[in-house]
Structure formats: structure tokens, C-alpha cells
Amino acid sequence: MPVIEIGNLVKTFGSVRALDGLDLRVEAGEVHGFLGPNGSGKSTTIRILLGLLRRDAGEARVFDADPWRDAVALHRRLAYVPGDVSLWPNLSGGEAIDLFGKLRGGLDRRRRDELLDHFDLDPTRKCRTYSKGNRQKVAIVAAFASNVELYVLDEPTSGLDPLMEAVFQDEVRRIKADGATVLLSSHVLAEVEALCDRVSIIREGRTVESGTLTELRHLTRTAVTVETARPLTGLEALPGVHAIREVDGRTHLEVEPAHLDELLGHLVRFGVRALTSTPPTLEELFLRHYGDERPAAEAAGVNGRRAGAR
């Protein structure tokens, strides 16, 4: 029984069709990455899962219950970190954490203090004086200090610095080890690559890809750079080989995973001196869906988060 199951979900705001037949399935115990560009409908989906918004059509079930009808009962089993955390300006951070914990049904004091320490958050400051990153930490600490089965995190690390990002990843691994399920909507692809068992990629309110990272990688091409003793010929005739370029005596090309074997069989005949093969990063997957008008070479270097060869 999946923890979250969404089928053909539709939500419109006036003339804007925010969700247009979205599908999503999150199994118990997994960390599920929920990826999509701004305005693609991630927050809208999450709000429907929390029973805050009403769906127009389609199915949405959380723990096999209807999130709109059974909202309160479900909320006791989950913790939510909103994308844009706002707090009561005249409460201290510590008070806000305790209040959220209590309203959710109780929180683990020891964990709370540990988390405050790990995230380096001063709980005596008034919420109005917190930066965006610190408000985000308040919501994260309140969520991770509650003992729940499902964590719904909407871009939780926007505003955190790299050090805190690492702390966040440790905490997610910890709750996963405790058997919890996590739905993690994110922009940070490195974070998703590091944490998620499976990902769903959405665009304009529709799921365009879903599966494990390995499965998704199979759908796309591997980049290969090769240097041979004799001039390399006959590549164009091979099936599944694309984007062949010669630079400084090396050949760069892209190959579909299914045809990797044939390519290697061909290459050895020319005396391979050096070979690197780079599996596609999530970034490339992502850009393949959203930046398809851009040439692959430019897309791969767009923001320098490329994970390198593995």
C-alpha cells in the first residue's frame, strides 16, 4: 500500500490550470524527490495532499484516506515544512517550535534540543528578527522533532547555506533509517541525487518522468570521450550514437545506454588509449525535459553542479 497515491489530479485557479492530470506514487519508507521548475505545480500538489486545497478532479489518497475529508486525522501522522515559512513575529523561535510540535500532537524534547544545536539556531530570538533561512530552520526543527510517519517538505532548503544543507541531509537520512517516508520537493538537484530513492519530475502540472535514478538514467544518453591510436571512423553508422565531435584529437559523443555495448565493440578495433564515460546527471535529465531547445553540450555546463564521472 503506497503512502501517497495520486492519479490524474486536476486543479485550476480561475483560468490557470495548475495541475493537469498529475500522477504520483510514494511507497512506504522511501525518500521521494519531487522535481519541477517554478510554477509547475509542486506546492499545489502538496497543499492538496494536506487537505488545504480542494481538488477539481482525479484521485488523491494519503495513508489510504481522503486528505480533504480526513485532514485532521492525517495531520497527526505527518509533518509539513512549507516552501515559504512565516511565523508569529512576536513569539520566540523556541516558542514557535514548541507550539507547532504541540499542535501536531507532541514532540521529542531531546531531539528538539539536538536539532537546535545541529542547525545552530538561537531559539530565544523573536521570529520577526529571523532571516528566511532561520525561519526555514524553525519549521525544519519543528518537523524533525516530531515523531511522525510521513514528512512533507516543500523546498525545505531554499535559503539554507551549504553547511546547513549538509546537516539537513544527515537528518533526512536519520528519519529514513527510522522508517519514515519523505516527500521532498526540491530545486537542488544535488540534494535530490544524494537523498532520494525515487524521483518524479513534473512540468506544467503533469508528471513527465518517474522512477529510480538508475531507471531514469537509462532513458537518457551517456557522454563518452575517447582517444584512439588510429583515426576513429564509422561512428555515424552505429545505432544510438549522437553528437559526435572531434576536439584536439579526442572524440566526444553521446550514446544511448542500450547501445553502449556495440559502441565499445567498435572502439576497441582502433586501439583505445583513454576513455571516460559519464552517466547523465540529474541535471541533464532535468534539462532534457525543460531545456530541450538548448544543445546538450551547453545544457550540461549550465550551472556547474555536474557531478563528474562515476
Residues binding Mg ion: what is the number (CB under 5 A)?
2
- Supply the minimum distance, in Å, between the C-beta of residue 141 and another protein: 12
* Burial bucket for residue 248 (CB in 10 Å: 0-12, 13-18, 19+): exposed
Shorter beta-carbon distance to another protein: residue 143 or 263: 143
d(CA 168, CA 156): 9
Judged by beta carbon, residue 18 or residue 182, the one nearer ligand ADP is 18
Q: Which does 94 bind (CB under 5 to 8 A by kind): ligand ADP, another protein, Mg ion, none?
A: another protein
Binning the chain into helix, strand and coil, the percentages to the nearest 5 are 35, 30, 35
Q: Which is nearer to ligand ADP, 22 or 115 (CB)?
A: 22
Cell of residue 159, nine digits: 535559503
Minimum separation from the CB atom of position 46 to ligand ADP (A): 8
Q: Using the rule CB under 5 A, is 45 a contact of Mg ion? A: no
Our finding on whether 83 is near Mg ion (CB under 5 A) is yes
Rounded to whole angstroms, the Cα distance separating 185 from 38 reads 11
Say which entry of ligand ADP, Mg ion, another protein, none residue 16 contacts (CB below 5 to 8 A, set by partner kind): ligand ADP
* Partner from ligand ADP, another protein, Mg ion, none binding residue 39, C-beta < 5-8 Å depending on class: ligand ADP
Question: Which of residues 83 and 291 has its CB atom nearest to another protein in the complex?
Answer: 83
Q: Which is nearer to Mg ion, 43 or 251 (CB)?
A: 43
Residues that bind another protein (CB under 8 A): 47, 50, 52-54, 71-72, 75-76, 78, 80, 82, 84-95, 97-100, 102-105, 123-126, 128-129, 139
**Residue 76 interaction partner, one of another protein, ligand ADP, Mg ion, none, beta carbon < 5-8 Å per kind:** another protein
Rounded Cα distance, 165 and 137, in Å: 11
Q: Where are the beta strands (DSSP E) in the chain?
A: 4-13, 16-26, 31-35, 57-62, 78-81, 150-154, 181-186, 198-203, 206-212, 222-228, 241-247, 250-255, 272-278
- The nearest distance, CB 255 to another protein, in angstroms, is 46
CA 148, CA 80: separation in Å to the nearest integer?
10
Whether 53 and 44 have beta carbons less than 8 Å apart is answered as yes
193 closest CA partner among 223, 218, 211, 213: 213
Min dist CB 41 to Mg ion, Å, is: 8
Alpha-carbon separation of residue 29 from 59, 179, 220, 279 (angstroms): 22, 5, 27, 27
| Dist. CA 283–CA 44, nearest whole Å | 23
Which cell numbers hold the place of 291?
Answer: 531545456
* Residue 18 interface partner, choices Mg ion, ligand ADP, another protein, none, CB cut-off 5-8 Å depending on type: ligand ADP
Residue 38 binds which of Mg ion, another protein, ligand ADP, none (CB < 5-8 A, kind-dependent): ligand ADP
Set of cell numbers at residue 253: 559523443
Q: Closer CB to Mg ion, residue 2 or residue 83? A: 83
Q: Which CB, 134 or 185, lies closer to ligand ADP?
A: 185
Residues that bind Mg ion (CB under 5 A): 43, 83
